[in-house]
Structure 1
Amino acid sequence: MTEDVARQQTAAGAERILLAAVDLFGRHGVKGTSLKTIAVAAGVSPPLIVHHYGSKEALRVACDQHVARVLRTAKTDTVEQGQYPDPLSLMSQLRENRPVVRYLARTLGDGSPLVNALVDEMVAEAERYTEAGVEAGLLRPSANPRARVVVLFLWSMGALVLHEHLERLLGVSLLDGEEPPLPYLQAVLEIYADGVLADGTYEELRHYVSSQGEPDGSERQER
């Protein structure tokens, strides 16, 4: 076996471990998943997990980084296309990244000290690709870009944490099944594209917020 082949096999083993851990941590939680279970799913021995990652907690950190990287790539690719996201493409991304979505839902509800670091990293990435979206003309500018990113991020993550209620009320799942969650996606697209407030309401609310000494935002653009 050549040195290059050995390195490739080593990297492939580490990748299998990581993907198996993301899937199992998302399904059963970190406490409910043993290294032995991950090793069986990845087709490796438990000592190999320790060799690559050191401990289950270190593997959890690697999973956090992987999830943030996957989401960053998906969002960045959409912005770099220089066009509005295709709903069919969004559905496809959701199906392909179900283990990542499931992992996020579980991790955000765990209350682990690692959650803050993951959320901070994802918000920072969201700020970057949102700025790129504004520059590309895909998104409206904001008077307070960070606040907008934080609120939108927490809204979307809230849907994951409350996914059981979403399934109960709308009959769609963000975590399981092959069918795309059409009612959820349609509602999100409508809110983002068309807004919710009727004409005139926005101006009244903005005037009220401005009178309280808060930033009043940029002028509303005509749709």
Structure 2
Amino acid sequence: MPVPDESSARIRIRDAALERFGRDGVNRVTIRAIAADAGVSPALVVHHFGSKEALRRECDAYVVATMRGDDTDELADAAAGNARGLSRMLDAAAPVRRYLARAFLDGSPEAAALFDEIVDLTGAWLAEGEREGRVRVTEDPRTRAVVYVTWLLAPLVFDEHVARVLGVEDLHDVDVTLRFSRVAIEMFTHGIFSDERALDAWDAVSKERES
């Protein structure tokens, strides 16, 4: 087996692990399987990462970096309305979405820490939106960030059920993601209820419990 370049080998191993962990779960995946997917030897995986747990932490860090938007060129294209740039982002994020879904289902401490960091990043992004006038002001920004993240991640955790109801084979397909995320964005932008009756009823219940 030829020896690949050090940096490219590390990325290939990480990407292979991201796919495997997302599809099968960390506990069901072996270093040997990841090495086979990456086209390297198990010894090279250990050389770069030391252990499967360290490789999983590397995947966590990559997912968080993706959530931060460290690839600024891709984000700039998408923000400017460049459909090709947005399509590349969605396509590249498919392994990330699968990884997130599996990590949260596994319920590991690392997944909990990952969720917390995603909430923190989302809260900061929403706060910036408030300052720029593109996000409505709320009295409880932390809870809003939690609800926002939970809402976005729900289709990942319930992917089989959502795919069945929508009549699609793969919820992580780019076209399918565009379909349900368009509806989510519409709901975030315009809301669902046309008046405040539901909100008033909720506030009334809260006030009654306080009395």
Structure 1 and Structure 2 fold alike (TM over 0.5): yes
Supply the distance in 2 between the matched residues of 1:75 and 1:206 (Cα, whole angstroms).
41
Supply the distance in 1 between the matched residues of 2:81 and 2:190 (Cα, whole angstroms).
15
Q: Does 1:150 align with 2:146?
A: yes
1:70-116 alpha-carbon deviations (Å, 9 max, x no partner): 12117988987896978886555322210100111111111222211
Q: Please name the residue that 2:166 is paired with.
A: 170
2:134 aligned counterpart, secondary structure: coil
Supply the distance in 2 between the matched residues of 1:15 and 1:121 (Cα, whole angstroms).
23
8 Å contact kept, 1:76–1:129: no
Residue of 104, 113, 118 corresponding to 1:117 = 113
**Cα shift at 1:162:** 0.5
8 Å contact kept, 2:22–2:98: yes
Query: Which stretch of structure 1 is more off in the superposition, 133-142 or 96-105?
Result: 133-142
8 Å contact kept, 2:75–2:85: no
Q: Structure 1: which 5+ residue stretches go unaligned?
A: 1-7, 215-223
Q: Note the 1:31-110 alignment, pairs <5 A.
A: 31-73=27-69, 92-110=88-106
**RMSD over equivalenced CA pairs, Å:** 3.1
Structure with a larger share of its residues in helix: 2
Q: Please name the residue that 1:208 is paired with.
A: 204
Query: Which stretch of structure 1 is more off in the superposition, 205-214 or 119-128?
Result: 205-214
8 Å contact kept, 2:119–2:149: yes
| Distance change in 2, residues 1:30/1:149 (3 Å) | same
| Distance change in 2, residues 1:74/1:202 (3 Å) | farther
**Cα shift at 1:41:** 1.7
**Cα shift at 1:164:** 0.8
1:179 aligned counterpart, secondary structure: helix
Q: Structure 2: which 5+ residue stretches go unaligned?
A: none
| Distance change in 2, residues 1:122/1:101 (3 Å) | same
| Distance change in 2, residues 1:110/1:42 (3 Å) | same
Code of the residue aligned with 1:137 in structure 2: it is G
Supply the distance in 1 between the matched residues of 2:74 and 2:151 (Cα, whole angstroms).
20
Scaled by the length of structure 2, the TM-score of the pair is 0.83
Aligned length: 206
Q: Does 1:181 align with 2:183?
A: no
Q: Please name the residue that 1:10 is paired with.
A: 6
8 Å contact kept, 2:74–2:89: no
Scaled by the length of structure 1, the TM-score of the pair is 0.79
**Cα shift at 1:205:** 3.7
